[in-house]
Amino acid sequence: MKFKPDALLMTVFRERLLLLLLCGGLPLFLHAQTAGSISAGTRSVAMGGVRATLTDIGAAWGNQAGLAHVEAFTAAVQAERRFGLAELQSIGAAAALPTGSGVWGLTLHSFGFELYSEQRAGLAYGRKLTDNFSLGAQMLLFNHRIEEYGSRLTFSFELGLMAELSPKLSFGVHAANPMRVEVAPGENLPTVFRLGFNYRPSGQIALLAEVEKDIEFGPRVKTGIDYRLVDALSLRIGVATEPTEITFGAGYKVNAALAVDVSAAYHQILGFTPAVGVVYTGK
């Protein structure tokens, strides 16, 4: 058999990265994957991970107050592979249904491998209190399995609000796991607060920015641009700090009901995180 050094190096890198994440990096690893820290859809990934002012199906993951702006039944599925590693792949799904009393949403998410896995399900709700102000919330059920500790069910919740300051400017505030919930001995679900702005100078472009603060880590700044090149095609780019990531992607509307999003985030040490998503919008 011919020796393949590239394959051997990739295997060693994969094993060392997983060992790092599961040993000294376990606390940070848990914070990167659990409440409020999973991506808010493929479109969000392309724009630096901004989520506080999303008003599409991504609001079900990002800021449930934005669900109040969803006008038709919408469903989405997405897949993401952290740093290109199959062991760090996550899959998510969300649906939103407008009713006379607000918009209800359902979110599902699965991540993990044999040493650590997580599944979560959420029931979300968003409602407009006035034409310019909306509130939202989500109840979450987590099932964490860590080989050393076994499985554990935990409950948490998220809260959000959104306001239109003008026809071109909106802001959103979101809190994930405001009550400290323990997921393993000495480890809690992350408590994360976000404040974001969405400025739309024209119908073709949106400029988004937000500050994210995990109470156990320093603030993180995220910025993104969504530019609609033509009616069917949008181009996106973004930057996030702490750690620094450069993100980009595109969205293509196949028809009035179906859209496909692709994106990637680049970390200067760990490499690329690709993501893909499909969104269905009813009439």
Q: pLDDT digits over 140-182, tens only?
A: 999 988 777 788 899 999 999 999 999 999 999 999 999 988 8
32 pLDDT more than 50: no
CATH topology of domain 5-281: Porin (2.40.160)
Those residues with Cβ within 8 angstroms of residue 150's Cβ, 6 or more apart along the chain or in another chain: none
Q: pLDDT digits over 182-224, tens only?
A: 877 777 889 999 999 999 999 899 999 999 999 999 999 999 9
Domain ranges of the chain: 5-281
CA nearest 62: which of 184, 148, 162? 162
- The Cα–Cα gap between 70 and 85 comes to 34
The pTM of the full predicted model, rounded to 2 decimals, is 0.85
17 pLDDT more than 70: no
Q: pLDDT digits over 52-105, tens only?
A: 999 999 999 999 999 999 999 999 999 999 888 888 889 999 999 999 999 999
Those residues with Cβ within 8 angstroms of residue 32's Cβ, 6 or more apart along the chain or in another chain: none
Angle, helices 5-22 vs 26-33, to 10°: value is 90
pLDDT at residue number 151: 85
232 pLDDT more than 80: yes
